[in-house]
Structure 1
Amino acid sequence: MKRKKPIFALGLLIAFAVLISACKGATGDDASADGDSANVPQPYVTLRMIMPGDESARMREFVDNELNERLKKELNMKLELTYIPWSDYQSKIELALATGENYDLFWYGTPFVSDYKAKNYIQPLDTLLRQYGKDLTARIPEDNFKLDEIDGKLWAIPSQAFTSAGKFTSVMVRQDLLESVGMKSIQSISDLEAFYSRMHAADPSYYGYLETDRGQDALWRELSDQPLTFLDENQIFAVNENTGGLVDYLESDLYRKVAQVRERWVGMGLIDKQLAGNLAANIDQEDAGKLLFRVGAVSRAMENLQTVQNADPDAKLREYYLAPDKPKYIVAPSNEAYMIPKNASHPERAMRFMNWILQSKEHYNFIIYGVEGKDYRIENGKIKLLTNDQFMYEWMWRNKNYFMPTTNVDDSVVRDMMHNDDNAKVSRLFGFHFNPEPVKNEYAKVLAVYNEKFVPINIGIVSYDKQFGQAMDALKKAGYGQVWDELQRQYAAFRAGQSLSADREESK
C-alpha cells in the first residue's frame, strides 16, 4: 500500500493542476495571452461591433452564416454587427459611447480619436496590441500607429496602410459624363463649372455638388498662394506648410474667396439649395448616380464605383487635383481608426478579431469580398465581383500587402492611386492632436456658433459679405480667442518636441 501512495499523490496533483487550468480558461475572457491566435481562446463570446452604412442582404447572410461559422471555429466568438446609416452615424455612435452601451468595437475617422480619448469613451490599446496584434503590427507601418498615440499611449488601430497624400483635397468626377460633354480632365475651378454647365444643358437631372460639409481645401490648391492644411475636422484652423505657422483661417482672405466661390455655385445651381447641408439627400443622389462630382479621397474613385455602377453600369469615376503641379502633403497615412470602448466586455477578442483580418490574404479577401467562387473570384490579379452587395468596407482595411483592384476599375485609376504619394511631403501636422479639455466649455460654444452661423456661409447659401461680420462677432463672444490661444500653446509645445526629437536623432 505504501508503494502506491506516491502514484496516488501524483495523480491528485495532476488532476488538481488540470482543474485549476480549466477554471482559468472558463473565467477569463481569453485563455491564451501569448498572441498566437492558433490557440482558440475561451470562452465562447459575442463580440458587438458598430459600423456605418446600410447593411446589404448578402452581408447579413454572410455574417450570420459563413463568417460566424468560421469565427466560432478560429476565434470562438460570434460577431454581432450593427449598421448605422451614414447620416446618423456620428450622433448615434456618440450617444452609445456617452451612455456606456455595451459595444466592443467601432470605426471612425482618425480626427475623432483625440476627442473620444478626452471624453473618456475609449481605452488604451498598447497591451492588447502587444499581446494579440502581431499581424497588425507586421502589416501596418509603425508611423501609422503614431497617428493614434496621445500622451504616450495608443488609442486606436489605424487599419488602413495605403497611399494617402492630399486626402480630401482632390475632386472625384463622373469621368464618363465628363467625356460625354467633350472634356477630358479637371484642373481648375473653371473646369468644374464648365462640366456642370455643359452637363446641365444636356440633362438637368444631374446635380453638380462638391461635398459641402468639407472640401474647402480642395479649392485652396487653386485659390491660395501658400500650401495650407486643415488642422481640425471642423475646418476652422489650418497650418501653413511652408512656414509651419498656424493660420486663423476664418479671418483670412482665403476664407472669403472660398465662400464666394460656393456662393457663386449656389447661384448657378451647381450646389442645389435643396441638397445643401443634407447629407442623407446627397448620399441618396450619389447612390442614384446623379452627382457629377464630390470631394475625393485618393482612392474614392475605386471605392464608390460599385455603388454608382449599380445605378448606371457604364459609369466611370476618376479623381483630380486642382492646380495639379502643387505639392501634396501626408497628414494621416491612415484616416481609418478602430477603437475599443472603455466599457467593452471583450476587448481582448476585439483585438484578436482585428488581427485575424490581416493574418493572411485569404482572411483579408474573405471578410472584404466574401466567399471565393460565390461572391468573387480572382482574374489576372484582380477581384471579379460576383455580387453587387457590399461586405466589410474595403477602404477601411486597404493594405499594400494584400491589395488587388476589382476588374471594373480602369487601370488608369489604379495607377493614380499607386503613384499618389510620389514626391509627397510629410505635413507639419503629422502626429499633432489638439486636446480641447482646457477650454472645453469655450470650444463647445465655438462649435455651436460655427455650425449655426459659418456652415451656411461655407455652403454658399448665406452671403459672406452680408453675414460674416456678425458671425465672427458671435464666435468671439463664444470664446474663440481662448480656443485660439490654447491651440497655439499646444501646437508650439508640439513643434518644440519635434525639434528636440530631431536634435536627438542627429546626435546619434
Structure 2
Amino acid sequence: MKATKKSMLLLLALIFTMSLVLAACGGNNQSTSGSTNSNSGSDSSNASDNGGDAAADLDFVELTFTYPGTKQKDHDRIMEEINSYLKEKINASIDIQPIEWGQWDQKVNLMIASREPMDIYFTAAWSNYSVNVSKGAFLALDDLLANTEAGQSIVNSLDPAFLEGSKINGKNYGIPTNKELASGGGVVYRSDIAEELGLDFSNVKTIHDLGPILEQVKQAKPEMIPLFALPGDFVNAHFLANWDFLGDNNIPGVIRKDRDDTTVKPRFEYPEYMENLRTARKYFLAGYINADATTTTLSSQDALKNGNVFMTVQPLKPGKDAELASATGLIGKLQQLELTERTIATSETAGSMLAISSTSANPERALMFINLLHSDKYLNNLLNFGLENEHYTRNGEIISPTEKQGDYAPGAAWMFGSQFLNYVWDSEDPQKWEQFREFNNAGHPSPALGFTFNSEPVKTEVAAVVNIRQEYDDALETGSVDPEEIVPQYIAKLKAAGLDKIIEEKQRQFDEFLANK
C-alpha cells in the first residue's frame, strides 16, 4: 500500500510538472500588443482578464503591497511605470513597500497586531503563514477565486496541487507562486575564488564537510566572510535539514521530507538537530561565520552583492547560481552545490504566496493585481527586471543586462505570480524551464505532501512557543551560543509553554489526513 501511494504521488508530481511546462510554453507564445509605455517596447499579455474597457467601469483605488526585500535604487522609477500601466488595466495604483529581510518578521508582526491597513502581504509556510491565518490576518479567498474573473483566471493557470497543498482547514488564504515544486538544499559559492585557491569540493557531501574549504578561504582571504549565515537560513533551515514542518515552519513538530516515517516529533528528538547545531557552533568559533549572524538585516543575496562573501546556504533549483549571479553582479562567478536529497513537499506548494490582508478595503482589486502577475507578461517582467533597454536588452525570451541593471535587481521573481512568464538571462541555460521539469521528477515526495496544519485548536500554545523560538533559534542555529548549554533550557521552556499539546494536535490532524488519502 505504501509503495502504491508513493507511486501515485510521483505520478501526480510528473503530471503537475508537465502542466507547468505546457503553461510556460503557452505563456511565452502569447500574442502581443503595443504597450502604452513609451519606454518599454515590451509585450503585454492579452490574456489578462482585467484590462481595456473593463478598467473604465471601475472606481480608481490605491493598493498597498509588502514583501521581504531590499528597496532598489530605481524603485520609484519602476513604480511610476507600474502605476501608469495599472491605471489602464485595472484603474488602480499600488504602493509596493519592500521590508529588509532581517526586519521582515518583526515588522509584519507589528503591522498585523496593530491592524495596519494593507492590501497584499507576501507569505509562506516558512514565514508565519499558519500563525498569521490563526490571528485572522489574511482573508479566506475561496469565494473570490470561485466568483470573480480574476479568481477563475488564477485557478485555471495553477496546477491544483498548488492550491490544494496550501489550504488550511480546507480554505485558501494565499495565492501560490507558479514555480518549481521540488526542493533541494546546499550552498552557492564564489567559483572564481575557488578556482584561484584550487579548492577541492569532491569530498563535500554535507554541510559538516565544509570545514577544510572554509579554513583555506579564511587563511587566504582574511578580508572575506567564508560562510555568510543569517537567522532562519542556515544549518536547520527546512531546505537543508529536510524538515517538513507540516504547514508552517514556525510551529514545532516535524517529520523528515526525505523519509517515510509519519511520526510527528520536535526537532530536538532527531540526532541530526544537535549535529547541525554543533557544526554551526564549530564554524562560528573558528571565525568562518559572520560575527553578526544573529542580528544582520542583510539577505544572503545582498551579502553576496557586497563582494566580501565566499559562500551562502541556499534552497536550490536549476540555475539558482545563475539567478543569483545576475542579481548580484557576479555573472560567471557563482556555482551551486547540492548537499541534500531533492524532495517534494507542502513547504514548496506553500513556499511562496501572496495573501490579501483582512484589513484590505479593496480585496477584489487586490486579487486583480495578483492575477496580472500570473497572466500579464509585461507587468510581471517589469516588476522583476525593470525597463527594457534601460535595465536590460531583449532578444526574444533572452535578456542581457545593461550597465544600469544593478540599479533594479530585486531578485524576487520566485515571489511574484508566475515564474514561467519570466524572461531568461543570457547567463542562464535557455532550457531553464525544461530543467525545472527534470528537477521536479527527481524529487522524493514527503509523506505529508498536501497536508497543512490548522493551528486554531492550539493557537494559545502556538503563540507562546513562537515567541520562545524567536528568543532561542537565531542564536543557536547561527552558532552564536553553545548548544550543549542552551538547548536543555530551550526544551524546558517549550514544554512549559505547551509543546506536547501542539505535537499531539499535529499528529491527530496528520493521522486523519493520512487515513483519508
Q: TM-score, normalised by structure 2?
A: 0.78
In 1, the alpha carbon distance for the partners of 2:444 and 2:136 equals: 33
- Structure 2, unmatched stretches of 5+, are 1-47
Contact residue 263 and residue 507 of structure 2 kept, 8 A? no
2:333 to 312, 316, 320: 316
Aligned to 1:4: none
2:123 to 108, 111, 124: 108
Task: Indicate whether 1:306 and 2:321 are aligned.
Answer: no
Percent same amino acid among aligned pairs?
Answer: 22
Q: Closer, same or farther in 2 for the Cα pair 1:176/1:238, shift >3 Å? A: farther
Deviation at 1:69, TM superposition (A): 1.5
1:423-442 correspondence to structure 2 within 5 Å = 423-442=442-461
Q: Closer, same or farther in 2 for the Cα pair 1:376/1:441, shift >3 Å? A: same
1:373 to 386, 389, 394: 389
Aligned to 1:166: 183
In 2, the alpha carbon distance for the partners of 1:370 and 1:470 equals: 49
Deviation at 1:349, TM superposition (A): 1.0
Deviation at 1:406, TM superposition (A): 1.1
Task: Indicate whether 1:252 and 2:273 are aligned.
Answer: no
Contact residue 330 and residue 424 of structure 1 kept, 8 A? no
- Structure 1, unmatched stretches of 5+, are 1-33, 499-508
In 1, the alpha carbon distance for the partners of 2:333 and 2:431 equals: 11
SS for the counterpart of 2:254 is strand
Task: Indicate whether 1:279 and 2:299 are aligned.
Answer: no
| Greater alpha carbon shift after TM alignment, 396-405 vs 382-391 | 396-405
Deviation at 1:118, TM superposition (A): 0.9
In 1, the alpha carbon distance for the partners of 2:377 and 2:200 equals: 36
In 1, the alpha carbon distance for the partners of 2:287 and 2:434 equals: 33
The number of equivalent residue pairs is 452
Aligned to 1:269: 287
Alignment RMSD, CA only?
3.0
Contact residue 442 and residue 483 of structure 1 kept, 8 A? yes
Aligned to 1:216: 235
Deviation at 1:352, TM superposition (A): 0.9
1:13-412 correspondence to structure 2 within 5 Å = 37-38=51-52, 39-40=54-55, 41-64=57-80, 66-111=81-126, 112-130=128-146, 131=148, 132-159=150-177, 161-167=178-184, 169-183=185-199, 185=201, 186-189=204-207, 191-207=209-225, 208-217=227-236, 229-231=244-246, 232-234=248-250, 236-240=252-256, 241-272=259-290, 274-280=291-297, 285-299=303-317, 300-309=320-329, 313=330, 316-322=333-339, 326-331=341-346, 332-333=348-349, 335-379=351-395, 381-386=397-402, 387-390=405-408, 393-397=412-416, 399=418, 401-409=420-428
| Greater alpha carbon shift after TM alignment, 131-140 vs 34-43 | 34-43
In 2, the alpha carbon distance for the partners of 1:405 and 1:216 equals: 31
Q: Closer, same or farther in 2 for the Cα pair 1:471/1:197, shift >3 Å? A: same
Q: Closer, same or farther in 2 for the Cα pair 1:137/1:316, shift >3 Å? A: farther
Deviation at 1:314, TM superposition (A): 5.8
Q: Which amino acid is the alignment partner of residue 304 of structure 1?
A: L
In 1, the alpha carbon distance for the partners of 2:376 and 2:327 equals: 27
Q: Which amino acid is the alignment partner of residue 67 of structure 2?
A: M
Contact residue 281 and residue 478 of structure 2 kept, 8 A? yes
Residue by residue, what CA displacement relative to the aligned partner does 1:289-342 show, whole Å, maximum 9, x if unpaired? 222222212244244323432xxx56622322225xx45333323511101111
Task: Indicate whether 1:479 and 2:479 are aligned.
Answer: no
Contact residue 237 and residue 250 of structure 1 kept, 8 A? no
Q: Closer, same or farther in 2 for the Cα pair 1:454/1:423, shift >3 Å? A: closer
Deviation at 1:139, TM superposition (A): 2.7
Deviation at 1:217, TM superposition (A): 4.8
| Greater alpha carbon shift after TM alignment, 410-419 vs 101-110 | 410-419
Contact residue 59 and residue 391 of structure 1 kept, 8 A? no
Q: TM-score, normalised by structure 1?
A: 0.80
Deviation at 1:454, TM superposition (A): 4.9
Q: Which fold has the larger relative contact order, with Cα–Cα distance below 8 Å and residues 6 or more apart in sequence?
A: 2
Task: Indicate whether 1:421 and 2:440 are aligned.
Answer: yes
Q: Which amino acid is the alignment partner of residue 356 of structure 1?
A: L
In 1, the alpha carbon distance for the partners of 2:200 and 2:437 equals: 21
Q: Closer, same or farther in 2 for the Cα pair 1:466/1:199, shift >3 Å? A: same
In 2, the alpha carbon distance for the partners of 1:105 and 1:57 equals: 23
Contact residue 107 and residue 337 of structure 1 kept, 8 A? yes
Q: Which amino acid is the alignment partner of residue 266 of structure 2?
A: D
Residue by residue, what CA displacement relative to the aligned partner does 1:110-135 show, whole Å, maximum 9, x if unpaired? 34332222111111112222312343
Contact residue 263 and residue 459 of structure 1 kept, 8 A? yes
Q: Closer, same or farther in 2 for the Cα pair 1:71/1:260, shift >3 Å? A: same
Q: Which amino acid is the alignment partner of residue 253 of structure 1?
A: P
In 2, the alpha carbon distance for the partners of 1:43 and 1:380 equals: 36
In 2, the alpha carbon distance for the partners of 1:258 and 1:142 equals: 35
Task: Indicate whether 1:492 and 2:508 are aligned.
Answer: no
Deviation at 1:402, TM superposition (A): 2.5
In 2, the alpha carbon distance for the partners of 1:279 and 1:74 equals: 39
In 1, the alpha carbon distance for the partners of 2:243 and 2:67 equals: 32
Contact residue 165 and residue 333 of structure 1 kept, 8 A? no
Deviation at 1:453, TM superposition (A): 4.0
Q: Closer, same or farther in 2 for the Cα pair 1:153/1:54, shift >3 Å? A: same
In 2, the alpha carbon distance for the partners of 1:374 and 1:327 equals: 38
Contact residue 61 and residue 92 of structure 2 kept, 8 A? yes
Q: Closer, same or farther in 2 for the Cα pair 1:255/1:333, shift >3 Å? A: same
Deviation at 1:425, TM superposition (A): 2.5
SS for the counterpart of 2:265 is strand
Q: Closer, same or farther in 2 for the Cα pair 1:356/1:441, shift >3 Å? A: closer
Residue by residue, what CA displacement relative to the aligned partner does 1:12-37 show, whole Å, maximum 9, x if unpaired? xxxxxxxxxxxxxxxxxxxxxx9654
Q: Closer, same or farther in 2 for the Cα pair 1:230/1:128, shift >3 Å? A: closer
Structure showing greater radius of gyration is 1
In 1, the alpha carbon distance for the partners of 2:312 and 2:93 equals: 37
Contact residue 217 and residue 230 of structure 1 kept, 8 A? no
Deviation at 1:455, TM superposition (A): 4.1
